[in-house]
Amino acid sequence: MTLRDEWQRLDSDTRKWLLDNAGCMLAPSTITAVVQQNSERHIDVDRHGQMILSREDLDFIREKGTGVGAGQVNEEFQFNDATQPE
């Protein structure tokens, strides 16, 4: 199960929580319960009933939050390593 697959089934409050907490690797049990109710697939949870978010889930949430897909990033914007001469 990935959030990408389940996103359309989630209510707006659950989506908002996920977007507002895009750095969290675990979703609290209350959010997990909502996702489980609406999901058609098995959800991995830890021993506390919290949903374990995969790297793919985290990337998807960040992409949704910024509205920018990886293919839309302008190549002119690059980070330079200050320790390396240009």
- pLDDT tens across 63-74, in order? 998 764 444 444
**Of 77 and 9, more confident:** 9
The per-residue pLDDT for 39 is 87
Residue ranges covered by each domain of the chain: 3-67
Kindly state the tokens that stand for 48. 């506390």
- pLDDT tens across 18-77, in order? 999 998 999 999 999 999 998 888 888 999 999 999 999 999 999 998 764 444 444 454
**Closest-CA residue to 45 (of 29, 61, 22, 23):** 29
Beta-strand ranges (E) seen in 3-73 are 26-27, 51-52
pTM of the model: 0.70
The per-residue pLDDT for 83 is 53
Q: Is 4 exposed, middle or buried (0-12, 13-18, 19+ CB in 10 A)?
A: middle
Place of tokens 């830890």: 46
